[in-house]
A = this chain, B = another copy of it.
């Protein structure tokens, strides 16, 4: 065949968006009209032609369910779209966007939609971390689709890349900065030397942290996202209860300063790992999912994620190291993720074949503390006496924990005079959490040790 024979002809394209031509209409029910919901409504009303051109169907905003009509008097949206009868709205719709948050009535409404075969787009991480795998199965059973890009890391496309782009690879680890509030606080502490309480107050003043910052600061928000990421990355159901979680409230300015001196930065990471235990023919796989403040080398790509930004770092056997970076919250960025799901869902609805959610293809066991190998940074206050270091070092040795680096700072009195105190900071080689816990317990019992000031995990080394 010659080139001219095989080269296909181009059809003419209109100069204008082809959206006006789409004849099919899909009715969209929007549940919730807060920061994100109101942006989704705006985009649906403003960008109709472009959305229709990309979807193959006109996305008609059928209504917006709000808790109380009175509370939305000031919303700049057509009043006739608002309703307080969410169930009737769901029953009338082809596609449902759930942005109410919380467990109920969000779950009941999502199930109501799914069971009548309507596909759902949600950003509800709390609900998915609790009931995700069961909802996914229910969607598949009913030939409906359940999408949730907005539930993790706001505008950053991470759910679809993990579920689709990496579906032919084997993800071994996910490290995520998935909470902008805590990243802002830790970044402020790192940049200005501020104490935790002051950085939190500043974050609250700027609107990055809520009046009750518990869910962010204690890591619960990140833990819900970690459960979702692990479920998708490892094709196994992981729920919030499976995530071990430690927040940042105990991270001190001294921890940050000591990390900085050693070339590290402290980030709150959501970590999901595929763990191989045993070896040879007896090797089995498991997962470990956890959230905790973590020392990262300053040259690690995640270390450069500043302010309230989010990023997710993925390691896969063939792809190697990948990172996805962007705005992790906010009305417009999160609405962008919702709209991407909505257009993609609409395309498949037009084709008559909703995508399957089918996240779990196996059930991997959760690996306990005895199976996780990590490096640690440990800070101690000790009496400045001869022989203290040797006694501490021998405790590490007894538990098989090998020391990679040590730094001693004297805090008063002549060195070795027995009158001053010293601060010791150790970084260990990789050891099990169990070995470390036993080491720390025994170190605390040494006479010369006044206190263990910090125990922080180290990643990326």
Per-residue contact bits, chain A 293-307, to B (CB 8 Å; 1 contact, 0 not): 000000001001000
Partner of A6, one of B111, B317, B338, B351: B111
Shortest distance from the beta carbon of A293 to any chain B beta carbon, whole Å: 23
Contact check, B155 vs A7: say whether CB atoms are below 8 A apart: no
Interface string of A147-172 (1 = CB under 8 A from B): 00100000111001100111111100
> Whose C-beta in chain B lies nearest to the C-beta of A9?
B134
Interface residues of A in 52-104 (CB under 8 A from B): 53-56, 103-104
Interface of chain A residues 13 through 72 with chain B (CB within 8 A): 13-19, 39, 43, 47, 50-51, 53-56
Contacts of A301 in B (CB 8 A): 304, 325
- The answer to whether B326 touches A322 (Cβ under 8 A) is yes
Which of B18, B235, B340, B348 meets A361, CB within 8 Å? B18
- Closest B residue to A321 by CB, please name it: B326
Among A112-169, those with CB < 8 Å from B are 131, 133-135, 137-138, 149, 155-157, 160-161, 164-169
A356 to B346, CA, bound (A): 12
Which B residue's beta carbon lies closest to that of A168? B339
CB-CB under 8 A from A161, the residues of chain B are 157, 160-161
Question: Could you tell me if B169 and A237 are in contact, using CB atoms closer than 8 angstroms?
Answer: no
A324 at the interface (CB under 8 A from B): yes
Given contacts A161-B160, A165-B157, contact A348 B353 (CB under 8 A): yes
A261 at the interface (CB under 8 A from B): no
**Residue A108 is within 8 A (CB to CB) of chain B in the complex:** yes
**For A318, what are the chain B residues with a Cβ–Cβ distance below 8 Å?**
39, 43, 155, 332-333, 335-336, 339
Tell which of B19, B353, B360 touches A13, judged by Cβ atoms closer than 8 Å.
B360
Contact of A319 among B3, B18, B333 (CB under 8 A): B333
Contact B17 A361 (CB under 8 A): yes
C-alpha gap A158/B434 in the complex (Å): 40
Q: How many copies does the complex hold?
A: 2
Return chain B residues, CB-CB under 8 Å to A235: 50, 53-54
Bound CA span A11–B324, Å: 33
Tell me if A327 counts as interface (CB < 8 A to partner B). yes
Bound Cα distance from A33 to B7, whole angstroms = 25
Residues from chain B with a CB closer than 8 A to the CB of A137 are 8, 10-11
From the candidates B6, B156, B343, name the one contacting A322 in the complex (CB within 8 A). Answer: B156
In the complex, what residue of chain B is closest to A343 when comparing beta carbons?
B167
CB-defined contacts of A336 to chain B, threshold 8 Å: 166, 168-169, 316, 318-319
Q: Is A387 an interface residue (CB 8 A)?
A: no
Q: Bound state CA distance, A167 and B346, in angstroms?
A: 11
Contact among B43, B156, B304, B362 with A17 in the assembled complex (CB-CB below 8 Å): B362
Q: Does A407 contact B (CB under 8 A)?
A: no
Cβ of A303 to closest chain B Cβ, rounded Å: 10
Across the interface, name the chain B residue whose C-beta is closest to A159: B165
Enumerate chain B residues within 8 angstroms of A138, measured Cβ to Cβ.
8
- Determine if A111 and B8 form an interchain contact, defined as CB atoms under 8 angstroms apart: yes
CB nearest to A316 among chain B residues: B336
Cβ-based interface call for A206 (8 A)? no
Residue contact B134 to A53, C-beta cutoff 8 Å: no
Q: Which residues of B contact A13 (CB under 8 A)?
A: 237, 360-363
With A8-B134, A304-B301, A347-B355 known as contacts, the answer to whether A361 contacts B53 (CB < 8 A) is yes
**9 more A-B residue pairs beyond the given contacts A8-B131, A53-B362, A301-B325, with a C-beta to C-beta distance below 8 A:** A15-B363, A53-B361, A54-B358, A54-B361, A155-B319, A164-B343, A320-B326, A347-B355, A348-B355
